[in-house]
Amino acid sequence: MARIGIIGSEGRMGRAIAEAIGAAGEELAGGVDKDGDIAALAVRADVLIDFSSPGALEGNLEAAIAANKPIVIGTTGLEERHHWLIDTAAESIPVLQTGNTSLGVTLLAHLVREAASRLGEDWDIEIVETHHRMKVDAPSGTALLLGEAAAKGRGIALADNSERGRDGITGKRGTGTIGFAALRGGTVAGDHTVHFLADNERIAVSHMAENRGIFARGAVKAAQWMLERKPGRYTMPEVLGL
């Protein structure tokens, strides 16, 4: 059995991951939260799963590197500096970072990239996401993941070709841009729809998360897969062989 450690164990995702570890026949090495002994957990575990906060990422990576253990990062709200830290850590240990650990969302992103690569700029792309009222970041990590998939399909940089937070007189939609809209309310675990809209026709592909268990199962599958990897930066599509 693999010993899996959880960083952010008392959060909703942390508790769901603990259940998924048992269901997968693996062993829970323990969990830590703010001010916990991450270094000790990294030593006990064979692999770490991090669903904590962006502010904790640097220390979590340092602990994983010191213990020479792979780490799966599902924390959202990451900025450019965090990705630099991940790239640096990946020179020493296996690191998988993703905005969504759901296997279904991973396949959806693959389909979005394929569609975007085959449809021209006369097809507008809009991404709509809905989450529970307690979510603090927008667009969601999954929405950004899907946006990156669409941008890669078109061979463009998402940062230079996205539209967000439309309000007031914004002018017409930019050609070839990728739009984002975020809805917040209730207890929605996560709904995402990518719209491809052209003159007189539309395509929509969606994923609806009914509970956090799907993310937890995907995170555990990723952790199992990471046990056999060499140092480097990995993604969820590689877990599915896409």
Measured in Å, how far apart are the chain's first and last C-alpha atoms? 26
131 labelled catalytic: yes
For the chain, give percent helix, strand, coil, nearest 5: 40, 25, 35
Rounded Cα distance, 185 and 208, in Å: 15
69, 82, 131, 192: the active-site residue: 131
Contact 32, 76 (CB under 8 A): no
Structure tokens at 138: 């927008």
Question: Averaged over 179-194, what is the pLDDT?
Answer: 95
Rounded Cα distance, 229 and 242, in Å: 16
83 labelled catalytic: no
Q: What is the residue type of 33?
A: D
82, 110, 132, 135: the active-site residue: 135
Name residue 209's beta-bridge partners. Answer: 190
pLDDT, tens only, 44-69: 999 999 999 999 999 999 999 999 99
Q: How many helices (H) and strands (E) does the chain have?
A: 8, 11
Average pLDDT across the chain, whole number: 95
Question: Averaged over 218-223, what is the pLDDT?
Answer: 97
pLDDT at residue 12 in the model: 87
pLDDT at residue 35 in the model: 87
Return the closest-CA partner of residue 215 out of 157, 137, 115, 140.
Answer: 140
Rounded Cα distance, 194 and 95, in Å: 28
Dihedral-angle region of residue 80 (phi above 0 means left; psi in -120 to 50 means alpha; beta otherwise): alpha
pLDDT, tens only, 136-182: 889 998 999 999 999 999 999 999 999 998 889 989 999 999 999 99
Return the closest-CA partner of residue 125 out of 31, 205, 34.
Answer: 205
pLDDT at residue 166 in the model: 86
pLDDT bracket for residue 76 (50, 70, 90):
confident
pLDDT bracket for residue 212 (50, 70, 90):
confident
Structure tokens at 173: 């939609």
